[in-house]
Amino acid sequence: MSLPRILAIHAHPDDVEIQCAGTLGRLKQLGCEVVVATMTAGDCGSAVLGPDEIAAVRRREAQAAADLLGAKYYCLEFKDLQISHDNESRRRVTELMRKARPDIVLTAPPVDYMSDHEVTSLLVRDAAFNASCPNYKTQQWDPAPATSKIPALYYVDPIEGIDWYGQPIAPEFIVDISETFDLKLKSLACHSSQREWLRQQHGLDEYLDGCRRWSALRGAEIGVAYGEAFRQHRGHPYPHDNVLLKVLNAAGR
Amino acid sequence: MSLPRILAIHAHPDDVEIQCAGTLGRLKQLGCEVVVATMTAGDCGSAVLGPDEIAAVRRREAQAAADLLGAKYYCLEFKDLQISHDNESRRRVTELMRKARPDIVLTAPPVDYMSDHEVTSLLVRDAAFNASCPNYKTQQWDPAPATSKIPALYYVDPIEGIDWYGQPIAPEFIVDISETFDLKLKSLACHSSQREWLRQQHGLDEYLDGCRRWSALRGAEIGVAYGEAFRQHRGHPYPHDNVLLKVLNAAGR
Amino acid sequence: MSLPRILAIHAHPDDVEIQCAGTLGRLKQLGCEVVVATMTAGDCGSAVLGPDEIAAVRRREAQAAADLLGAKYYCLEFKDLQISHDNESRRRVTELMRKARPDIVLTAPPVDYMSDHEVTSLLVRDAAFNASCPNYKTQQWDPAPATSKIPALYYVDPIEGIDWYGQPIAPEFIVDISETFDLKLKSLACHSSQREWLRQQHGLDEYLDGCRRWSALRGAEIGVAYGEAFRQHRGHPYPHDNVLLKVLNAAGR
Amino acid sequence: MSLPRILAIHAHPDDVEIQCAGTLGRLKQLGCEVVVATMTAGDCGSAVLGPDEIAAVRRREAQAAADLLGAKYYCLEFKDLQISHDNESRRRVTELMRKARPDIVLTAPPVDYMSDHEVTSLLVRDAAFNASCPNYKTQQWDPAPATSKIPALYYVDPIEGIDWYGQPIAPEFIVDISETFDLKLKSLACHSSQREWLRQQHGLDEYLDGCRRWSALRGAEIGVAYGEAFRQHRGHPYPHDNVLLKVLNAAGR
Amino acid sequence: MSLPRILAIHAHPDDVEIQCAGTLGRLKQLGCEVVVATMTAGDCGSAVLGPDEIAAVRRREAQAAADLLGAKYYCLEFKDLQISHDNESRRRVTELMRKARPDIVLTAPPVDYMSDHEVTSLLVRDAAFNASCPNYKTQQWDPAPATSKIPALYYVDPIEGIDWYGQPIAPEFIVDISETFDLKLKSLACHSSQREWLRQQHGLDEYLDGCRRWSALRGAEIGVAYGEAFRQHRGHPYPHDNVLLKVLNAAGR
Amino acid sequence: MSLPRILAIHAHPDDVEIQCAGTLGRLKQLGCEVVVATMTAGDCGSAVLGPDEIAAVRRREAQAAADLLGAKYYCLEFKDLQISHDNESRRRVTELMRKARPDIVLTAPPVDYMSDHEVTSLLVRDAAFNASCPNYKTQQWDPAPATSKIPALYYVDPIEGIDWYGQPIAPEFIVDISETFDLKLKSLACHSSQREWLRQQHGLDEYLDGCRRWSALRGAEIGVAYGEAFRQHRGHPYPHDNVLLKVLNAAGR
């Protein structure tokens, strides 16, 4: 099996790192090309700086985190708290899909605590399909060509692994990230502005500790130090085969 | 514990009264400030009057019901059957959240028989979060300042307590409204135009009787005369603590 | 019971035939008037022809299939992969509902592998309700009058009968289509362009065979040769009575 | 020369009557089919009644005036003070053009005291051209076919015959309406609500007198009792020949 | 004659000061209430600072200039180079008109070198009329009531007093601002960021000198040291009487 | 003087060739880089082919004509008869301006017989200015950087050199194209589909002859065989110097 190309896309800077940087680290070790994308630049992530200013800070932080992971970084320049399930948004995410041409996509789960995450999930699911249809146009200046196939699509955990009512959402499978957990934590630490903001906004003062606890919990479910959980989208024409696990397991041998 | 400020917001005039007027009555008795809001003025609620005319009637009815409950009333002036999950709508509901500054929000459930209810639920969930982000702008003339925290968010019952397929949606907890049931019924009776319209449109001729039956059913589940059911939204940064029950129970002692 | 009027509406040309042509055939045999509608003309359904060209081909194929079923055919001229849950879309589907005036509606299920299907489902549910409200305007040139009642609403199977994660979605009931299965297959065979496209795009080379297998599986669940599965929408004001089964059973006697 | 079909379209109910009812009367006498259309139903034309109510009144008044003139009446249901030069508006006016299929169009002048008039003028000019292009689609349910030619297009006077700065806009030619002036005045008198509104709103208390004075002024310019002034749009592919005058003059002989 | 209320509104911070601060100074001396408004906060007015940052600077500068003129200042928060002639924009400007309730409005001319100026002119003309129609709604949270009359409307000079082709646009009348010219220059000097930006962007390094030269030129046309030129909008229902000159002349006696 | 970069942009394929191909030919002979752009692909330019099909034909024709002129060709993919003066359109034309980085722009005149031409003129004027503002964003995937200056802007003739009323619009100056007239005619002849369409649609059967007559008329005004007419936009910050004539005259020596 040739190495798959990977796209990890989530709503805001730091979401990718929180949910799947350990897995990305493992895939990178295997030699996979990795693209990290965020829908927004995180323009609402500050109580002190204005939208442009905090966005500039966070684009730099996201770039630094991607550099650490050996990934190419894109920001799609949506606005925080304004992601909508409309055609302009579909076209933009589809253009990313055609530019990145991934074999495997990791993205936000369809149910989470806020619309930015949930709508991102829908848009990425749509785009993974739409990108392969040559008659679907993205209205960009130099549009990338249609992809040749639909990628395998995976949803990461919602925050805290719960649904709207606080009930756990069971993962389908868990990836052992014990080896790359340090890298994950370092990549997360790149988002220093967000750590500050969350402390002020939500009274959560333990950006890295929370990440460690959650990763340890998911790891414990499969008897390893640290883990990250996923569910695969297996709608009709999407690959039903779990290529992500196959790649990781093949490497383990 | 100081008394929480309450916002009850649902799609149409009478929805708040049907689903949670008894609970609002109890909170008001405790001394809480209560705000009632409807997304629309109910402009499609008539087979006889035109949109403007029936809306004028129903704004008055909603105001009368709110007066009875000792609540301030706002109509957000969306249009019946036209509530959409877009950014203009998010901004308007967020502005309400910033004006009302509630500690507790009661709103429509995410799954119900029609889009007006479901989209209201999504918009209110979004707004409860967005209101606390200073960089999120509502584009109103004299916008209220960002809120200082995310309120506790509760979903009322869907109509008939069922999902799309007629299956029951189990409530998380039920509030005993036996003492305030009469008030609830009186507040509902303020919506006399709607009683007429439902009779003609859906062949349901028992506006008040239906409300009584449903409240009695919910009450029976906890062994009291009348009850109203709720589920709390416990997504990541929303309060996980059931402050609504705490306030009501503290009062009971 | 007088014979009900039937509307079957799904996203793309061939979706109706795949999911419910056998049931439509039985209803037609009973003497029901049947209307088939597709949201789009299938403009993305080709890797070779441009949008206009393939749409022209597929409108003709859909018309041929409807002719075979003895149904009137409408195309609502949405665009493939661009169906959105907004008010312009609601109005257009509501206008169809008012023109077709069905007693029974068969449509896409709320959870399926792609947005075109899921949003169609939401729009049809909205339209079935909205059509009956005289104050709801569709902004068409010669708008049809409001309907006199909300029709009974049924969801067909998602493709492969699965949810996003590949888990089966249990049907509520299954219709025996053994007698009309040949007609169903013939009507599906009218969509020859789609058969080609699916072969190239998704590597699925067995348009008719897949349909036969799926219909046989659903049939086996009730011990007949071929079947089609449905779930009824039983939200508050929608008919809760299973009129579809009643009509079919009455005929069976 | 066979008799031309006539379309007179202006922004609000009463604009057509004020500016060209005398000419329409003459054309009708000759046997021409006449269509009168208003962009809006005049929903802002009252300080007392709400939008729906005054619109209902004014649709009836416009219909009565059209009946008097022997004309078919259409209201395009734009909203007062909200006419915009966008594609949805172009499509709607184009659909009218294709339904009415006029040989001669009389419409608002490109410069007048308010946007509703000026934008109507632009939209009608656009529509007269667009209607003849088969590939231009109006997105209506049962769209009329493309027209076979571009009609001759005429602009009526701006109100008071002046530009924004109060300077006279010279007409190109004036039609003698002495014979039909009584009819014009009667048709104008049908708009009784507007007479009331203008009196209250603008302090202009002489609806019919003002019309008489203006018509007399225009008449005096060509030495007759009453006249109406026009300018012909002679952009590239529009008929350059003054067919309106030809028809009227031929009749005079 | 009681003192009129004045509204001066132009596209960007500094446009009002350049074109009519001398006249505003004279009106203020007479005791008139003056409101200054800008459509945008000038977010594109820098080659160094980002949109939010330069907008914050320029809001402060505009406020300082208004303070100097004794005027209340509003920013309508449109975006530079994005002002459009659509209904959302009309509503926002109409709301200003209803809040400021002016007797006299000074605004941008209909022909100038760029769309922001020209579209502002159209929107203000529309709003002056629309504000007086009670049925016209602005969709703001606490909308101001409709005005009781249409204000007298004046257009200031285009930049350089020329049309698109460099031809002079003759003013209708010129106001002697010799006494208040120093104030005008000081108010203009408040916009220090803009002075910098223009120097870099357009190679015009003489913000105040240019203003002095232009004011002197306009003054010379009526034989005074400094002047500002205007044209009055005299469309149908707008005041035709030159109340601005009357007020100033009455004061001169 | 170093050689200027040229951008000629008009609404539809063939408009550039009709109005300024002779001038482009002369500029190309001097060694200037030339970019030709059309707003649309001409999708309404056929009574026989559908939109996609005729657009494909006309893109090829426009490319062939540009090849003949030694120019790079862009199509901005607006739709025929749908060009609007809105922000999405402004952004797209601004992106072209930033990609082409012209010193001289030739475009449609502000007054012509149809909106596509007039709105193109406005959008290009806007874009020439907007492109130089770094804070103005075009929302493209890989946006070109802001330009360093505003280009000199020229309007070509309206069709037939007339305004809406058939009155001549006097040119500011005329370029002698006698030497390059053959090239102009050949480039126009590339648009063979349009020649056919105009013959059917407007009864104008003399595509090349009309062009020859018009060029000869303009030439006669300055005493040469063939000419093309222009007016320069001299709004405030646009170059007031006639660099186009300077380049051509310098070359003549």
Instruction: Give E16-46 pLDDT, tens digit per residue.
Output: 999 999 999 999 999 999 999 999 999 999 8
Angle CA B41–B46–B47, to nearest 5: 155
Pairing of strands D227-233, D173-176: antiparallel
Of the candidates C51, C162, C165, which has its C-beta nearest A135's C-beta? C51
Amino acid residing at C20: C
F154 DSSP β-pair partners: F106, F232
Secondary structure element (H or E) that encloses residue B66, with its range: helix B51-69
* Res E253 pLDDT > 50: no
pLDDT tens track for F186-195: 999 999 998 8
* Res E201 pLDDT > 70: no
pLDDT of residue F253: 47
* Backbone torsion region of residue D147, taken as left when φ is above 0, otherwise alpha when ψ lies between -120 and 50, otherwise beta: beta
pLDDT of residue A61: 97
* Res A89 pLDDT > 50: yes
Provide φ and ψ at F36, rounded to 5°: -110, 135
* C142 to D141: CB separation less than 8 angstroms, yes or no: yes
Put simply, the chain C residues between 220 and 239 with a CB less than 8 A from any chain A CB are none
pLDDT of residue B194: 85
* Res A1 pLDDT > 60: no
What span, in angstroms and rounded, lies between the C-alpha atoms of F121 and F105? 11
* E86 to D84: CB separation less than 8 angstroms, yes or no: yes
Lookup: tokens for D202:
């603008």
Cβ-count burial of D203 within 10 angstroms (0-12 exposed, 13-18 middle, 19+ buried)?
exposed
Q: Are A and D touching by the rule of 3+ CB pairs within 8 Å? A: no
F128 — pLDDT class (breaks 50, 70, 90): very high
Inter-helix orientation angle B15-30/B243-252, to 10°: 50
* E135 to D51: CB separation less than 8 angstroms, yes or no: yes
* C135 to B82: CB separation less than 8 angstroms, yes or no: no
Q: How far is CA C170 from CA A82, C158, C212, C218, E12, in A?
A: 35, 10, 19, 11, 61
Burial letters for A114-147: b for 16+ Cβ neighbours within 10 Å, e otherwise? bbbbbbbbbbbbbbbbbbbbbbbbbebbeebebb
pLDDT tens track for D1-43: 589 999 999 999 999 999 999 999 999 999 999 999 999 999 9
- Mean pLDDT score across all residues of chain F: 94
Give the closest-approach CA distance of E94 to chain B in angstroms.
12
Query: Rg for chain E (alpha carbons), in Å?
Result: 17
Query: Considering all CA atoms of chain A, what is the largest pairwise distance in Å, rounded to the nearest integer?
Result: 50
Give the closest-approach CA distance of C186 to chain A in angstroms.
23
* Res F172 pLDDT > 50: yes
Q: Are C and E touching by the rule of 3+ CB pairs within 8 Å? A: no
D251 — pLDDT class (breaks 50, 70, 90): low
Of the candidates B110, B132, B234, which has its C-beta nearest A201's C-beta? B132
Neighbours of chain D (3+ CB pairs under 8 A): B, C, E, F
Cβ contacts from E onto F, under 8 A? 69
Residue of F nearest to C56 (CA): F50
Residue whose token pair is 């348009």:
C207
Cite the beta strand spans of chain A per DSSP E.
6-10, 34-40, 72-78, 104-107, 152-156, 173-176, 227-233
Put simply, the chain D residues between 45 and 64 with a CB less than 8 A from any chain B CB are 50-53, 56
* Res A71 pLDDT > 70: yes
pLDDT tens track for C157-180: 999 999 999 999 999 999 999 999
**For chain F, percent of residues with pLDDT exceeding 70:** 96
pLDDT tens track for F94-121: 999 999 999 999 999 999 999 999 999 9
* B51 to D52: CB separation less than 8 angstroms, yes or no: yes
- In this prediction the pTM is 0.92
pLDDT tens track for F8-21: 999 999 999 999 99
The rounded average pLDDT for each run of 10 residues, N- to C-terminus, in chain B (253 residues) is 92 97 98 98 92 95 98 97 97 97 98 96 98 94 94 96 92 97 96 80 73 96 97 94 94 55
* Lowest mean pLDDT across B222-226, D65-69, E190-194, F132-136: E190-194
E204 — pLDDT class (breaks 50, 70, 90): low
Angle CA E20–E22–E28, to nearest 5: 105
Pairing of strands B34-40, B6-10: parallel
pLDDT of residue F211: 93
- C interface mutation test: which of D72, D94, D95, D141 has the most C CBs within 10 A? D141
* E52 to A56: CB separation less than 8 angstroms, yes or no: no
Give the closest-approach CA distance of B232 to chain E in angstroms.
29
* A67 close to A60: Cβ distance less than 8 angstroms: no
* Res C201 pLDDT > 90: no
Secondary structure element (H or E) that encloses residue E7, with its range: strand E6-10
Which residues on chain D are in Cβ contact (under 8 Å) with B80? none
* Res A253 pLDDT > 50: no
Average pLDDT over every residue of C173-190? 97
pLDDT tens track for D173-230: 999 999 999 999 999 999 999 887 777 766 665 788 899 999 999 999 999 999 999 9
Residue whose token pair is 């003698």:
D176
pLDDT of residue F202: 62
F175 DSSP β-pair partners: F228
Amino acid residing at F152: A
* A87 to C82: CB separation less than 8 angstroms, yes or no: yes
C141 — pLDDT class (breaks 50, 70, 90): confident
Average pLDDT over every residue of F232-236? 93
Interface TM-score (ipTM) > 0.85: yes
pLDDT tens track for D54-92: 999 999 999 999 999 999 999 999 999 999 999 999 999
Put simply, the chain F residues between 86 and 145 with a CB less than 8 A from any chain D CB are 86, 112-115
Give the closest-approach CA distance of F141 to chain A in angstroms.
7
pLDDT of residue F250: 85
